Amino acid sequence: MDGFGHPWFILGGWAIDLFIGRVTRAHSDREIGIFRHHQQEFRRHIGDKALFKAITGPDGGMWVEWKEQEYIELPLHQILIRPKGAEVPVGDWQAMPEEFEIFLNEADGGLWRFRRNPAITRPASEIIMQSESGLPILTPEIQLLYKAKHHRAKDELDFTAMLPLLNDVQRTWLKSALEKTHPGDRWVGLL
C-alpha cells in the first residue's frame, strides 16, 4: 500500500492482533479496507495484478474478474488481488502467499456507514487508528461489529481477546450497534 494516497487500514483478525500487540491465533488471509470511492485510484495503484470481485449467485459465492474501468457498487464489496496471470479461484482454493483482499467501505460527506446497517455511522476520520507498530487498523469495536454476523470460532477468539481491552466508549458504541444490527446477540450481555 506504500504510495497509495488515500486512507487504508488493516482489517479482520490481523487488525485485532495489531491492536493487542501480539499474535493471538493463526490467520489464513490478509484483508485491507479502503473507501469505496477510492477503488479506481486503488486499481491504478496496484498495477497489473489479477483482480477479482466476490459475487453471490444461486449456488453461493464465487469470484469473477473485476474488469478494467468497472465501478463496484453495493452490495458487492470484496476484491481479491492475486499475482499477474493468476487464475480465478474456484471452490476451496489454496491461497497464494502474495494474495490479499480489499474490502470497500462506505463513506460520504466525511461519514462512514456500516454496510449492513447504514443507520450506524461514525465520522470517517474516527474509524482508523494506528497500531503500536504504526500500521493503520480498523478500530476494534467496528471490527467486532463485522465479526458478530457469523460468530465463527475465530470471531469468538477475537472477541474474547479484545473484550478486556475495550474502553467504555468502545464498549458503549459496540453494544448500541449490536443492539441495532443483531438484536439479542449474546455479545451484548458480555459488554
pLDDT at 62 > cutoff 90? no
Q: Where does 8-139 sit in CATH, by number?
A: 3.30.460
Q: Which of 122, 108, 46, 109 is nearest to 79 (CA)?
A: 46
Q: What is the pLDDT, as a whole number, of residue 56?
A: 86
* Rounded Cα distance, 17 and 117, in Å: 26
CA–CA dist 179, 23 (Å, integer):
29
Residue 97 has which C-alpha cell?
A: 502467499
Q: Where are the alpha helices (DSSP H) in 90-152?
A: 140-147
Q: How far apart are CA 83 and CA 172, in angstroms?
A: 42
- Give dist(CA 117, CA 15) in Å, integer: 22
Q: Which band of pLDDT confidence, cut at 50, 70 and 90, is reported for residue 59?
A: low
The 10s digit of each residue's pLDDT in 136-161 is 999 999 999 999 999 999 999 999 99
Task: Summarize the confidence of residues 106-124 as an average pLDDT.
Answer: 95
2-23 pLDDT, tens digit each: 999 999 999 999 999 999 999 9
- Average per-residue pLDDT in the chain? 94
What are the residue boundaries of the structural domains of the chain, listed by start?
8-139
